[in-house]
Amino acid sequence: MPRTLQPVLSDADLPVAELWAARIDGELFRLGDCFTPIDEVEQPSHRARAVFSATSDFAAHRGRLIAEQLSAAWIWGATGAPPVRHQFCVAMASRTGRDLPRSISLREVVIEDCDIVILGGCRVTTALRTIIDLARFSETFEGQDARAVSSLMHLSGITLESSVEQMNSRRNLPGKHRAIQRLSRC
């Protein structure tokens, strides 16, 4: 009986040489640091699984991790490639150790359940939360960050008004005024 492939494959599923051989043979295509069978239609759930494959060395904390900012933007389809260093957050109550692989960054944040969706079994910030976080926390908000926000607003139908309304509904939100200025330029 032929073996059915998972929709997203990493070196945890097959040896790296076998994955690359299947890629060269045209059976798989690259998806971030993972691979996907060519008959799969790439979706946010596939990209979420690919992002979370970067956490295999951090498996004990995986259930608490939430993909955010540029990693979430890529999952939502707002950027053409994943970030070099994946960005995750955890809720303040879910403190986690700092022995992280270099391939990821981690922040402890105040986050509500309504700011999180499950895609491919992985926790990801909603498109709205992703837009707001990128506008609030990007150092310069130029280039990739601004393009990701603009693209995500277009793809999701989220408006400046709904973003501002969401930020205004939060008490003591750091970076709110800067975020509103940045979003008004998108």
Higher pLDDT, residue 186 or 69 = 69
Indicate whether this model's pTM tops 0.85.
yes
Stretch 112-135: mean pLDDT: 96
User: What confidence score (pLDDT) does residue 169 get?
Assistant: 92
pLDDT at 4 over 80: no
Angstrom distance (rounded) from CA 153 to CA 115: 16
pLDDT at 64 over 50: yes
pLDDT at 99 over 90: no
Stretch 146-168: mean pLDDT: 95
Q: What are phi and psi of 124, to 5 degrees?
A: -140, 145
Stretch 115-143: mean pLDDT: 94
Angstrom distance (rounded) from CA 170 to CA 175: 12
Q: What are phi and psi of 183, to 5 degrees?
A: -65, -30
User: What confidence score (pLDDT) does residue 172 get?
Assistant: 86
Q: Which amino acid is at 89?
A: C
pLDDT category, 1, cuts 50, 70, 90? very low
pLDDT at 61 over 80: no
User: What confidence score (pLDDT) does residue 124 get?
Assistant: 98
User: What confidence score (pLDDT) does residue 104 get?
Assistant: 82
Stretch 97-125: mean pLDDT: 87
Stretch 34-45: mean pLDDT: 94
Q: What are phi and psi of 107, to 5 degrees?
A: -125, 150
Residue carrying structure tokens 């971030």: 32
% of the chain with per-residue pLDDT over 90: 70
Angstrom distance (rounded) from CA 86 to CA 74: 10
pLDDT at 37 over 90: yes
Q: How remote is the C-alpha of 73 from its chain's centroid?
A: 6
